[in-house]
Amino acid sequence: MKELNRSVIGTTTGPQTFEYTWRDCAIYALGVGAGPDEMEYLDEDGLKVIPSFGVVPYWGTFGINPPRAIPTPINCTMGLDRQGSLHMAHKLVLHKPIDPMGGKLTFEDSVVELYDRGPGKGCVMRTDLSAYDEKGEKVFSNIGDTLFAVYQAPDSPPFPKSSTVIPERAPDYVCPDYIAPNQNLLYRMSGDTNRLHVDQKEAHKQGFDRPIMQGLCSFGYACRMAVRELIPHAPERMTSMEAQFRSPLFPDTKVELHIWKVQDGLAYFRMLAPEKKQIVLEKGCFMWK
């Protein structure tokens, strides 16, 4: 296998900006399944933001300067062999509520750690994209874990296990929803223009019979549904959310979010595609104040 040296830690995109308006928040809400019964995310009069809107700069193109032609988080700019690579886990931390009416945020995407998964199992690169408002106050942070299957990372620590342990009991909430046939196209309007999610030839090239859903769209669905059950009409109370990506999700699919409330302010979750008997998101953790 190839080797990835720990000297890559600290590699950064340099400062970038992300500008958005209330329309972008509403378009994002449509992209993660909000409908007529969730007008608080769609009507500019009294608008609220689905907190997972904070993932948009991580894997997106719109509103970003210097401009991106395609989504380019820091791990996509380093010239690495991406054979077998995948975005395996994501954590979003909200340091303050996102302004629903828009703003200009400054962010920088940096490599913060490398983990070795053992002989023949590849390594994981952890990155941090944190965004600040025009007052210099931190708004949100994205911590992304990407598997690089063809690399080892000598002298790196082992990949840490998740502290989330799903209880061995029935979930407290079972929330059904639906990924529409055009959901990948709707979510694409928020900037994830990766060809895998729209182009049949690219899907075939990567081993799928048709385009798959964006992983962070599944993440956004889970966020919207968890807010609805745990902190209804108060998305600004969410402080963090994380999950592991397990199975690709296709448009035109029924999904369920299973939620276990562990204590006040803490819940674990799992997203499934029940008709396909697949786990889509695993080891989910949702926190609020």
Tokens in use for 231?
A: 């902190």
Does residue 30 sit within a domain? yes
pLDDT at 151: 98
Final residue of a structural domain among 100, 117, 152: 152
- Predicted confidence at residue 158, as pLDDT, reads 97
pTM over the 0.85 mark: yes
Distance of CA 21 to the CA centre of its chain: 20
Query: Which pLDDT does position 247 carry in this prediction?
Result: 96
With contact defined as beta carbons under 8 Å apart, do 194 and 205 qualify?
no
Please check whether residue 105 is in contact with residue 17, taking contact to mean a CB–CB distance below 8 angstroms: yes
CA distances 154 to 87, 118, 127, 213, 260, Å, are: 21, 10, 18, 34, 38
Domain final position from 152, 183, 212:
152
- CATH code at position 145: 3.10.129.10
- Does residue 278 lie within any of the structural domains? yes
Using alpha carbons, select from 180, 165, 2 the residue that is nearest to residue 79: 2
Q: Are residues 194 and 241 in the same domain?
A: yes
Q: What is the pLDDT of residue 111?
A: 98
111, with CB counted inside 10 A (0-12, 13-18, 19+), is buried
Domain for residue 167, yes or no?
A: no
Closest CA to 252 of 183, 174, 172: 183
Residue 110 CA to residue 126 CA, distance in Å, equals 9
In a domain, 50, yes or no: yes
Answer yes or no: do 111 and 11 share one domain. Answer: yes
Q: What pLDDT does residue 213 have?
A: 98
Same domain flag for 131 and 82 = yes
Listed residue (233, 242, 236) closest to 267, CA to CA: 242
State the pLDDT at residue 74.
Answer: 97
Boundary residue ending a domain (152, 185, 211) = 152
Residue 238 counted as domain residue:
yes
Residue 105 domain-assigned?
Answer: yes
pLDDT for 142 equals 98
Q: What are the tokens at 275? A: 């008709």
Tell me, yes or no, whether 158 lies in a domain: no
Domain match, 190 and 126 both: no
144 and 189 housed in the same domain: no
Number of domains within the chain: 2
Claim to verify: residue 129 and residue 185 sit in the same structural domain: no
With CA atoms as reference, report the closest residue to 156 among 4, 264, 30, 37: 4
In the three-class reduction of DSSP (H, G, I as helix; E, B as strand; rest coil), residue 203 is classed as helix
174 touches 26 (CB < 8 A) = no
Look up the domain containing 220 and give its range: 173-288
User: CB–CB of 149/104 below 8 Å?
Assistant: no
Query: CA torsion sign, 247 to 25 to 202 to 180?
Result: positive
Residues 142 and 182 in one domain: no
Note whether 101 and 25 are same-domain residues: yes
- 52 and 83 both lie in a single domain: yes
Question: What is the reported pLDDT for 283?
Answer: 98
How far is residue 246 from each of residues 110, 130, 215, measured CA to CA in Å? Answer: 24, 25, 10
Residue 194 lies in a domain: yes
Tens place of pLDDT per residue across the chain (289 aa):
999 999 999 999 999 999 999 999 999 999 999 999 999 999 999 999 999 999 999 999 999 999 999 999 999 999 999 999 999 999 999 999 999 999 999 999 999 999 999 999 999 999 999 999 999 999 999 999 999 999 999 999 999 999 999 999 999 999 999 999 999 999 999 999 999 999 999 999 999 999 999 999 999 999 999 999 999 999 999 999 999 999 999 999 999 999 999 999 999 999 999 999 999 999 999 999 9
Q: What is the rounded distance in angstroms from the CA atom of residue 33 to the CA atom of residue 249? A: 14
